[in-house]
Structure formats: C-alpha cells, structure tokens
Amino acid sequence: MQEQTLIPNLFRTEYRKIVSVLCSVFGIDHIEIAEDIVSDTFLTATESWSINGIPENPTAWLYTVAKNKTKNYFKRDALFQQKISVEIKHSLSDSEEFEIDLSRKNIVDSQLAMMFTICNPSISKDSQISLALNLLCGFGTREIADAFLVNKEVVYKRLKRAKEKLKAEGIKIEQPSVSQIHSGLETVLTTLYLLFSEGYYSTSQNTVLRKDLCLEAIRLTSLLLENNLTNTPSTHALLSLMYFHSSRFNARINEKGESILYEEQDDTLWDYDLIEKGIHSLNQSASGDSLTKLHLEAAIAYWHTKKEDSDEKWENILQLYNQLLQIEYSPMAALNRTFAFAKVRGKEAAIIEAEKLKLVDNPFYYSLLGHLYTHIDNSKAIQNFESALQLSNSHSVINTLKKYIEALSQK
C-alpha cells in the first residue's frame, strides 16, 4: 500500500522540521514532550490513513495534527498554560490565538537555533553528532547505533546524558545572536564536518545509511547559507568539500564490497553534477580574506576530481597538504600527504617520509607502506599489508588487503 512507503519518507523529511519548531516552543527542558507529540502525530497518520486513505496534502495534514496536539497539550497541562500566558500570550492581542508557526522560514530558523544549541562545547563531539542525527535529521537510535557501530543502548544513554547536560547548563533554544554566531559557528561547522565524515569514512556495511548521513550533513550545511550571518566563506568551503567527496561515493566500493583505491576508480561512476556544485561553492568560499583548514581540504578534494594523472595536479595537492599541516597538523593529513609526495618525488623518497610518521597503530599507515613497497620490495609490501590486516575492522578493507596479499604472493 502507498502509505507504507509514504509515511516513512514523510517521517524522514518532516519529523525533523516539526520537532525543531516544537523544541523551540517547549524549550530544552521538555524536548522529550516535543518528540512525543511528533511521534504521536505520525502514529495517528498511520492509523487514520490506513482507514480513510491518504489525504490530498499529507504534509499539511501532519502539520495541522501536530499543531492541534500541541494546543491540546497546552490546554491539559497547567505548567504550559502558565508558559503560554507568561512567555507567549503577552505578545498577542486579545483577538489573536496562540498558533504554532510551521512556515518554511520558521522551520529554517528553528533548525538553525537547534544547530547552535546542540553544538554546545559542554557536550562531547559524539553526543553533538548523535543529537544532530536524532533531532535535526530524524534518525532513530538504531540507525545512529548502526552508523557509529555501537550498541543501541550506548546511543540511548549518550542522547539522554547530552540532553541532561544541556538542561543542567541552562542552554536555551533560541535564535543565536551575532556574537553567538561569531563564537559558535566554527563548532557548528566542525560538527557537520564530523557528521559527514561519519558517513563517508564509516566502516558500516549499510551503504544506504552512510549515504543518508552524507546527504543530511550537506542539507544542514546548506541551511546555514540561508542566513546572512552563517553564510560565510568557511561554510561554502565545507559544502564544497562535501560535494567533491560525495561525487566519488559510488566509485569507492565494488560489487564484492571491496574498497577501491583512488587510482583504480571508474570515473564514469563519479557524479559530475555534484562536482560542478562543489566548484561553485569553492569559488564562493574565496570571497573572504582568511584561509582555513576547510578551504585547503576543499581545494585538495577539487584536484582529486581531475582524473588525469598530471604533474600539475599532484604538485598542487602536495603544496596544499604542506599548507594544511602548517595550519593544523594531523597524522591522517600527514599520511595522505605522503601519497601525493610519492606522486611528485617517487616511491623511494616517499617510503622515507612515511616511515618517519611511525603510525604503528594505524592500518592505513601500513596499507600505504604496502603500496609504496609494491614492485620495490614485495616481501616488505606483504608484511605491511598483513600488519594493516591485523589492525583493520572494516570488512571491505579486509577483503581488499587480502586481494593485494594474494596477488603479491603469486609473484
């Protein structure tokens, strides 16, 4: 039946919108009530539509029912009757009635307010991402657990602790001020960056879920562009980075579930529409005076959308990595730089650079060394691939490493 597919689709697109608006109305202390009302709205839809059929405008139906359930809650609960009187009704004339505003503008404003509330330094990054997935993206605890590769109970406790922490800190769900945006936007962008990475680099075998995480990160970053204060060069740089990486999503895993190296990817599977969007966002990011980590990573990702193996390409990537490491050093950036270094200076020189890193707990370190030693010293290549195999917990990576070891062993 049509409602069997329609309701899950509407849940994913509309749940997060209504929750954001109701959370703004109820406040941080009563997020659970907002969630219960929206969940009950979808339960009512399931029951009603199975009997009476799907309404002409399902979204409008959901909004109306959610509004009515909220009003009924206010009427039943003395605490919220007082809340309306004190905090809301003072702004209305005698002839006006309290109304839940589910206009597009208020939905966007409410989601922006929720973003800055969730991305509060008082809670951990994992908790920020989990709350974003739950409240801003409509993901359930099972989906979040699958994304993080943890037990459902772990996610439930993480969400509960994060909400309690925000309540204890007295954090309000409100439109951020100019000063709050200036001080908090970097944290918001970092959380969205990590949310995207959770999908793009996740070892979960659920490819659909991983794509959904990436798409939600893109959607939330795009929302920031609708506000003049959050429409910044750094926001454009992050969106550009997401577009460039997403463009190669379908080429990274083969039909056997094996990871495909960048050089072996089928570029006909790349999404060139996303690449064009990435180029547009990258150009928009150049309007400011500052050069950030996001700008450099976006530029590196841009050069990776050029399939041709030119000296210009790899020299540009190497120089961008050099700048990135000066701004913010990270072991993974240093490791990725070594791959570009090998392209420019050769494998032998790159082996010396790579072994200086001594990332002995990192499977990608050994995997890179395996590739660098291939055709130079195949026995050392096999040793490094086997070390990577012992440290890896990704099914697709393990399959790929075994394939490399088998191929080298036959030579």
Mean pLDDT by 10 residues, the chain (411 residues): 74 92 89 94 94 93 95 76 53 53 93 94 92 92 87 94 93 90 94 92 77 94 95 97 95 79 90 97 91 97 92 96 96 95 96 96 95 96 96 84 91 68
Q: What is the pLDDT of residue 1?
A: 45
78, 138 contact by CB (below 8 A): no
Tell me the C-alpha distance between 65 and 145, whole Å. 30
| Predicted local distance difference test score (pLDDT) of residue 327 | 94
pLDDT of residue 208: 78
Whether pTM > 0.85 for this model: the answer is: yes
d(CA 341, CA 363): 19
Task: Report the SS3 class of residue 15.
Answer: helix
Check residue 2 and give its pLDDT. 64
What distance in Å separates the CA atoms of residue 333 and residue 331, rounded to the nearest whole number? 6
Predicted local confidence at residue 37, as pLDDT:
95
- Angle (CA) 224-225-227 rounded to 5° is 75
> What phi, psi does 253 have (nearest 5°)?
-130, 135
